[in-house]
Amino acid sequence: MRKFWTKEETLWSFALYGTAVGAGTLFLPIQLGSAGAIVLLLTALIAYPLTYWPHRALCQFILSAKTSGSGGITSAVTHYYGKTIGNLITGLYFVAFFVVILIYAVAITNSLIEQLAKHGRLRPQSECWLASASLRR
């Protein structure tokens, strides 16, 4: 008989929560932390199911497709919806992530520049070099 919840499922839930919310902490306002621990805890309790269940459903969707192990979401979408719709959904998926990556790249660069300038470790002319170095990673 299978256990209801295993260690692997716990690790997966933490990993998925970290990927969903971890990048979002870049945009977490400082006021939320200064509002107190209760507000931060309530926000985390609300955010967990809002990130866990969609990530779980996406993982189940990908793993339930009869494709090769390295196919990922593109193979799963093509398997279920056909080549034409699969290519359309894959294109939309790419556009969605591309926009998010651009937003995060700008935000990370600006946050890093702001922190280094605030602590006096950055000259104004070196911002361009820092921006290009942080975007290359």
Instruction: Tell me the domain boundaries of the chain.
Output: 1-64, 83-137
Q: Which two tokens stand for residue 108?
A: 């990370």
69: which residues sit within 8 A by CB, 6+ positions away?
A: none
* d(C-alpha 137, C-alpha 133), whole Å: 7
Task: Render pLDDT for 11-58 as a digit per residue (tens, 0 to 9).
Answer: 766 766 666 666 566 566 555 666 677 877 887 788 888 878 888 888
| pLDDT classification of 127: cutoffs 50, 70, 90 | low
Which ranges of the chain would DSSP assign to H, the alpha helix?
7-22, 30-34, 37-64, 72-118, 127-136
Instruction: Give mean pLDDT, residues 101-114.
Output: 76
| pLDDT classification of 103: cutoffs 50, 70, 90 | confident
Task: Render pLDDT for 60-102 as a digit per residue (tens, 0 to 9).
Answer: 888 888 877 667 788 888 888 999 998 998 898 888 888 877 8
5 SS3 class: coil
Residue 1 clears pLDDT 60, i.e. is over it: no
Calculate the alpha carbon distances from 14 to 4, 9, 24, 30 in Å.
Answer: 17, 9, 15, 24
| pTM score of the predicted model | 0.56
Q: Which two tokens stand for residue 110?
A: 């600006």
* d(C-alpha 131, C-alpha 127), whole Å: 6
- The pLDDT of residue 84 is 93
Instruction: Give mean pLDDT, residues 129-137.
Output: 63
Most distant CA pair in the chain, distance: 64
